[in-house]
């Protein structure tokens, strides 16, 4: 069916994609090197949709954030539950931004705010995405490290200072 209407366009850079390998759910664009996922449409079961993999990770992280906050509110969780509800989606957002920024930097093609930028602009935005994603991952790791159990003097029981007592 794809060969009748020409090449399917990449949702990231709008170039024609090579045919998908039968039975595979993941593919990549030859031009922008973005990993792409294929899934069935919810309303029309015979139609398939193509989405960049980083956008799928962002959607999953957003769903995790909403479910996490809802479960914290319903279960009246403490500070640990709130930190986990924030840190895990933030780490997913950050990791996907770092991966997308690296591909933007490497291929000189970036798509941000529904605009495709090529050349120097794409490369600069790729570096900005790497920095932004790294900061998100750093904040998430700091939040998860704050959850580490502490002894009576504030030192975690598995640290070197705790064993020296």
Give the tens place of pLDDT for each residue, 97-148.
Answer: 999 999 999 998 888 888 888 889 889 999 999 999 999 999 999 988 887 7
Each residue's pLDDT tens digit, 15-42: 888 888 788 888 888 888 888 988 888 8
CA dist list (Å): 28 to 56, 63, 103, 144: 14, 25, 12, 33
* pTM (two decimals): 0.75
């Amino acid at each position: 069916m794809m060969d009748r209407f020409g090449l399917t366009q990449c949702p990231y850079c709008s170039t024609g994609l090579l045919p998908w390998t039968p039975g595979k759910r993941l593919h990549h664009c030859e031009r922008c090197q973005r990993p792409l996922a294929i899934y069935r449409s919810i309303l029309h079961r015979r139609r398939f949709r193509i989405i960049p993999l980083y956008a799928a990770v962002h959607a999953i992280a957003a769903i995790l954030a909403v479910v996490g906050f809802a479960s914290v509110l319903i279960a009246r969780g403490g500070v640990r539950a709130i930190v986990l509800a924030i840190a895990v989606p933030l780490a997913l957002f950050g990791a996907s931004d770092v991966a997308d920024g690296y591909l933007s930097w490497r291929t000189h093609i970036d798509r941000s705010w529904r605009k495709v930028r090529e050349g120097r602009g794409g490369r600069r935005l790729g570096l900005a995405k790497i920095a932004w994603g790294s900061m998100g991952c750093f904040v998430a790791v700091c939040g998860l490290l704050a959850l580490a159990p502490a002894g009576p003097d504030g030192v975690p029981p598995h640290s070197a200072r705790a064993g020296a007592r």
